[in-house]
Structure 1
Amino acid sequence: MGRFAGKLVVITGAGRGLGAALAISLAELEARLVLCGRNEQALADIASIIVERTGNAPTCIAVDLADVGSVTEASRAILASNPTVDVLVNNGAMWLEGRKEPYTADEVAGVVNAAITGTFLFTQALLPGLERSESPDIVTIGSISGLLNASLHTVSVPFYAAKHGQSAIAEGLKQMLVGSPVRSITIHPPYLDDILPTDPEWEEVAHRAKGGRGTNRDVVEAVIFALTRPRHVTLSMVLDTDNGGQYAAP
């Protein structure tokens, strides 16, 4: 895992859940981190955990992916301090569950703008930094909901549509970046149990029997696996936890 040592990794949605699990895990593999998210206190809390476990302090950048101005400001701040970006993990997204009551305009705009507009603009802005890297990667954390003919299950139509759009961005980037050293990798997880490397369950789930429910650790390991493949290999991975096909996930 020495190939992560010293690499600059930018993670959106890093203040909680899967983003936080990725941040802690990659920090333990000696990556240098920029943690991005809407909640500055949540980012600071994860940064404190990383300092305690590794001794290295990540950079925290507040960004609201649903706000174009915030995306522009954050991307400029990242490149001003880190001209070279090795890995961008597009994990940030807004969850909106299915319900009978109508959704507000703000709810719909927030979900769609964060997953599509904000994700694309953030990636586009950081591309010059990625192109300076010797091994640049863009990792998009999609969803089973974003796959063709996926069941709506319990997600809202705006979230379902947003994840389809995010999946299209990842595929479009893959095609756009043909001939360049930048890879576009996609991971599509199902519903997940939300655990962190600081939780006792993190070690316990490594020994689950077939059919066990997915966790953040599964996605972290999938991301690390994808990033450590030879440079000529680009992956799009669907995580199947053998739960009867009832998939839909943030």
Structure 2
Amino acid sequence: MGRFDGRVVVVTGGARGIGFGTATRFAEEGASVAILDLDETAASEAAGRLPLVDGARAAGIGADVSNGASVEAAVSRVVEELGGIHVLVNNAGITRDNLLFKMSEDDWDLVMGVHLKGVFLMTKAAQKHFVEQKYGKIVNISSVSALGNRGQANYSAAKMGVQGLTRTLGIELGPFGINANAVAPGFIATEMTDATAARLKMDVEEFRALSAEANPVKRVGFPEDIAAAVAFLASDEASYITGQTLYVDGGAKLG
């Protein structure tokens, strides 16, 4: 038996990167999984690649997490197509990096809308079901950039906001059998970080090697590393943990 047999898990931004790695981990452990992504075609294709077990099902659903009506419709589809919702992983994200004096209002609004407003809207939609069934697990994806990072005023502010929101969710929702926690990844080898290397005109492997040297364990992280932490926090083994942020960064912020 898997830890998530009979559970329905929603992963936003689940078509690639950390999101798909996380969706895969839940599928391997018995869950039915809904992948939400702005691109429904990509979401459906990713859902079709999940390693489902024991009759579990998958769905790929298009959703704009920064839009309330889109979120409500997506959560309703999850419940209708997969029979419920038990775990929500708020992972959807974008970057619009720039130094403050170059950052536009749109750069700020887009990043805050997806990363912070998106967590608010998705959680608000899901918690109605969680409260009714007196059970729910919420795991929000923050970042080490929440502690500050040059060229990411918007992203850093949003990711620290996620941590504050997570603590508040722990306080408000705990009495209803709902746990809310966050995971803050360090450098993770994904398409997004590869794109950062390209923007800096650096070779991907060189970029990863430099990042590995910046932490005590001397390697970069992979989506599977984040998926393992998310799966633990979403499991009943973590039922006495709420309102916390777990940094999964190879110790990069120890220095």
Q: TM-score range by the shorter chain?
A: 0.7 to 0.9
| 1:45 and 2:45 correspond | yes
Match of 1:66 in 2: 66
Match of 1:227 in 2: 234
| 1:159-213 deviation line (CA, Å, top 9, x unaligned) | 1111121221111101111322000011111121128xxxxxxxxxxxxx93222
How many residues are matched? 229
Match of 2:246 in 1: 237
Q: Offset at 1:97?
A: 2.1
Gaps of 5+ in 2: 192-215
Q: Which amino acid aligns with 1:221?
A: A
- The aligned runs of 1:139-154 (5 Å cut-off) are 139-146=139-146, 150-153=147-150
Alpha carbons 2:119, 2:140 under 8 Å: kept: no
Alpha carbons 1:28, 1:54 under 8 Å: kept: no
Alpha carbons 2:19, 2:92 under 8 Å: kept: yes
Distance 1:90 1:244 in 2: 23
Match of 2:153 in 1: 157
| SS across alignment from 1:140 | strand
Q: Offset at 1:100?
A: 6.9
Q: CA RMSD in A?
A: 2.6
Alpha carbons 1:116, 1:162 under 8 Å: kept: yes
| 1:188 and 2:184 correspond | yes
| 1:109-128 deviation line (CA, Å, top 9, x unaligned) | 11111122222122111112
| SS across alignment from 1:84 | coil
Match of 1:92 in 2: 92
| 1:20 and 2:20 correspond | yes
| SS across alignment from 2:95 | coil
TM-score (norm: length of structure 1): 0.81
Match of 1:77 in 2: 77
Q: Which amino acid aligns with 1:189?
A: P
| CA shift in 2, pair 1:55/1:144, >3 Å | same
TM-score (norm: length of structure 2): 0.79
Distance 2:142 2:48 in 1: 27
Distance 1:178 1:53 in 2: 31
Distance 1:223 1:109 in 2: 27
Distance 2:55 2:101 in 1: 48
| SS across alignment from 1:15 | coil
Distance 1:151 1:95 in 2: 14
Gaps of 5+ in 1: 196-208
